[in-house]
Structure 1
């Protein structure tokens, strides 16, 4: 990595793993976190704003601007994931209310302002449903001239989690995801295929939970968060989840990617929200008969160096 810090904006729906991503972004010396924008997803958008401000405060972040964004998808009703992230979206850990407040502009306005004012092209990291990003690209297409890359957590090559084939962030707002893929900038898809694999071993989770520093204790509790009915382990391992996408910004060599055509299934039914990734070695009958269509090439993450990203995250957040 060069000596220059990478300008980054995170668009999130702060739940358990978004919080781990924010903590890493604040503490990694190679990242210049310019702004954070919030969207409904893991919980309602006001809860997301509250959680984001709490995490930044606990992490000791400087005055990073935070903005409230879309409270529902472009077309669909909002469908939050409290069954995964707890009623408050943060594992119901009883974290203190933030003293910080969001800025007095909406997320799209803040995104446009921070992207265009950055002296270097920005890396945009959406770890949430892509509603804010779609609205930005449609309302202010000029921003693409100062976007280096979009690294989004979303999609799946193999198995989904919201449905058998659709990942939650894309399924929550498929039309927004489809707009993102036409942004005209380099895109990395950090999907469930790698998301599920980056797990912090229990010994490190235990160390974080025992820390005297509130931010590290918070990280440990978030990593240990589990459905009580599913695990009685007092020191479980914990997935980095969204934080892996931010690790990929700092250390892209930790991913194995392939440039592949990707489209989002938008029709009603069981495949809605699926990221259809074309891994065929040659054209099929549809293309031969002129029925294929141009699909954007996306750098799809197919493999990840798990230990490398776990070490990277721990080193940054613990400052060692």
Structure 2
């Protein structure tokens, strides 16, 4: 918060274990005003993503945030979920209760457009999933970019992927949608897989959360205890870190200008403290 007002944000997610932890943080942090959440197929099927998202919001005491169902498959590719990582239900098969509420009566693209244009301040759009919903929004309603402050997305990798040696899951799942996002014409910040692999909550903190009587803290602990068992040729963003132009530019023209800001590191210990403080 730079002016004492929380930042208006809209989150697009494919709620599995990781996105659930991010949602718990986002809805509890006082500097963020979560105006809407949209769901897309990814970690599990889109109906499972909607269910998981609503369940997390109820557990976090944030049941009034509108949630909408989005794309059930990528723009071109078939659905390729990550149930082998996140469990059959996308949430570590924890047996969580079904949510009491239902999603909004509009689709994700409609909700995104409505909330972006209705916001009195430009919003920060936070995609944490395959980028299908965002691509459909940008192609169908390009006027929304006038009220988007920045897009901050979780996707890609600077060094090593998880879907393939070079491809991170969110971009690999719908590379054509990622290409649309990267040419959105608004400021973009990319937080890739490399950064988040460095953030680990200590085991004693995990056990303390699991033993809590507070539902959201117990959920956080159970999700943190679920370990990623997967280290599984598709395109992914390539981060150009060359110090000078190469032969391609010398022989074929000028070097492309950077499209996005890319996070290369994280203060992991500080971030863990921040996450715990916000969730608790």
TM-score range (shorter-chain normalised) is: over 0.9
CA distance in 2, matches of 1:225, 1:304: 22
RMSD: 1.6
Superposed counterparts of 1:4-43, under 5 Å: 4-43=5-44
CA distance in 2, matches of 1:150, 1:228: 30
* Cα deviation digits, residues 140-176 of structure 1 (max 9, x gap): 1111111111110000010110000000000000000
Larger strand fraction of residues: 1
CA distance in 2, matches of 1:176, 1:210: 41
Q: Is residue 204 from structure 1 mapped to residue 166 from structure 2 by the alignment?
A: no
Q: Is residue 193 from structure 1 mapped to residue 194 from structure 2 by the alignment?
A: yes
Helix, strand or coil at the partner of 1:164: coil
Q: Is residue 132 from structure 1 mapped to residue 140 from structure 2 by the alignment?
A: no
| TM-score between the two structures when normalised by the length of structure 2 | 0.96
2:262 is aligned to: 300
> Which runs of 4 or more aligned residues in structure 1 lie more than 3 Å from their structure 2 counterparts after TM superposition?
227-230, 291-296
* Cα deviation digits, residues 232-282 of structure 1 (max 9, x gap): xxxxxxxxxxxxxxxxxxxxxxxxxxxxxxxxxxxxxxx522211111111
1:288 is aligned to: 250
Helix, strand or coil at the partner of 1:185: coil
Q: Is residue 279 from structure 1 mapped to residue 237 from structure 2 by the alignment?
A: no
2:92 is aligned to: 91
Superposed counterparts of 1:171-186, under 5 Å: 171-186=172-187
1:311 is aligned to: 273
Helix, strand or coil at the partner of 2:264: strand
Helix, strand or coil at the partner of 2:178: helix
- The answer on whether the counterparts of 2:54 and 2:63 sit within 8 Å (CA) in structure 1 is no
CA distance in 2, matches of 1:185, 1:281: 25
CA distance in 2, matches of 1:214, 1:220: 10
CA distance in 1, matches of 2:229, 2:162: 19
Runs of 5+ unmatched residues, structure 1: 231-270
- The answer on whether the counterparts of 1:172 and 1:273 sit within 8 Å (CA) in structure 2 is no
Classify 1:200/1:272 alpha carbon distance in 2 versus 1 (closer, same or farther; 3 Å): same
CA distance in 2, matches of 1:97, 1:203: 29
Deviation at 1:24, TM superposition (A): 0.8
Deviation at 1:294, TM superposition (A): 3.5
1:141 is aligned to: 142
- The answer on whether the counterparts of 1:173 and 1:273 sit within 8 Å (CA) in structure 2 is no
Runs of 5+ unmatched residues, structure 2: none
- The answer on whether the counterparts of 1:41 and 1:172 sit within 8 Å (CA) in structure 2 is yes
- The answer on whether the counterparts of 2:195 and 2:264 sit within 8 Å (CA) in structure 1 is yes
- The answer on whether the counterparts of 2:14 and 2:49 sit within 8 Å (CA) in structure 1 is yes
